[in-house]
Amino acid sequence: MVGGAVCGYRHALMAHRIAVIGGDGIGPEVTVEAVKVVRAAGVDIDTEDFDLGGGRYLHDGEILSDSTLDELRHFDAILLGAVGTPGVPPGVIERGLLLKMRFSLDLYINQRPFSGTAPGKSESHEFIVIRENTEGSYAGEGGVLRKGTPFEVATQGSVNTRMGVERAIRYAFELAASRPRKHLTLVHKTNVLTFAGDLWERTFNEVRTEYPQIATAYNHVDAACIYFVQDPQRYDVVVTDNLFGDILTDLGGAVSGGIGLASSANLNPARTGPSMFEPVHGSAPDIVGTGKANPTAAILSAALMLDFLGESAAADRIRSAASVPTSGTTTEIADQIAARL
């Protein structure tokens, strides 16, 4: 049988092929548990481990070669723990591995769901941030002149294309349309970033005419920081650019039970290659091997992966099992979640 000829029935017949990049620090500890929980939910996955990250880089210099990237393209999804090791200069692994995957695999949506009750609030919130994931300040435009001299100049541009902005905004409208509240907030800084902000705002207003059923709002990013803390219930779906989304989603995690619970999906909705799923937290080298790492964010990221692979029922079961407060070591927490499945 030719692979792909039966694609409509594919997951009934074959295991999902998952590339696992444990990465550095607590990354491998939490991905092992996430894989365990996915299997406990009854989903058939074939995993292959890829030794990538700061540790590998220090060992033999590989960050993410084009041939490794080509191998990754053949998987149904990538599950990533965390990358970053002391001793590797900032940016090397972030740009060379994480951003290279986001850009090369065209993972143009970074979807981060948040739910919980913010500190000091009595009402709970539930919202999703859609972060544009391939452009903005992350595109790497800029450079440095006369480095190390008193006349040094550093520029760091923000790249915003109509295509990139529009596809993120369209995705967010579609997501909002699928949810009961049908509400979408654009977050930017149109009062200062007048070039990029104008492109975002015009595109948002144009696409909005195709979704009359969606109520919309606009917040400047600084105001959104206040609302995330003081009134997060106002949000349903939020769409924003790459850097604002990076910062806001840490804040989203902080008001939703902590970054140890924050999950994320780096999606290629066009499905021209695998999507990548990772907890928002970092490699936390200070707690490696102590059993203190909370695997919940990795487990919830694996649930997002299952949603994208057409296994939403199992994903929902995992989310509900993970929503019961759990304590203990990394393995104990995962075992308790697995036992509830």
Give the interface segment with Mn ion, choosing from 211-219, 241-249, 261-269, 285-293 (CB under 5 A).
Answer: 241-249
Instruction: Please say which residue, 246 or 311, places its beta carbon nearer to Mn ion.
Output: 246
Strand 16-23 relative to strand 45-49: parallel, antiparallel, unpaired?
A: parallel
79 vs 98, which CB is nearer to ligand IPM? 98
Does the annotation count 138 as an active-site position? yes
Which residues touch 63 (CB under 8 Å, ≥6 apart)?
Answer: 52, 56, 57, 92, 93, 96, 97, 100
Residue 246 beta carbon to ligand IPM: minimum distance, rounded to whole angstroms: 4
The helix-helix angle for 312-322 and 27-40 (nearest 10°) equals 120
Q: How far is the CB of 169 from Mn ion (least distance, A)?
A: 21
Q: Which of 49, 250, 307, 316 is catalytic?
A: 250
Enumerate binding residues for ligand IPM (CB under 6 A). Answer: 94, 98, 246, 280
What's the rounded Cα separation, in Å, for the pair 187 and 224?
7
Residues 287-306 that bind Mn ion (CB under 5 A): none
Whether 189 is catalytic is yes
In sequence order, the 6+-apart residues with CB closer than 8 A to the CB of 47 are 18, 19, 20, 35, 79
* 246 touching Mn ion, by CB under 5 A: yes
Q: Measure the CA–CA gap between 69 and 65, rounded to whole angstroms.
A: 6
Nearer to ligand IPM, 135 or 335 (CB): 135
Catalytic residue among 138, 171, 235, 335: 138
Cβ 202 vs Cβ 165: under 8 Å: no
Question: Catalytic annotation on 222?
Answer: yes
User: How many Cβ atoms from other residues are within 10 Å of residue 145's Cβ?
Assistant: 10
Q: Which residue's Cβ has the minimum distance to ligand IPM? A: 94
Residues known to be catalytic: 138, 189, 222, 246, 250
Using CB under 5 A, list all residues that contact Mn ion: 246
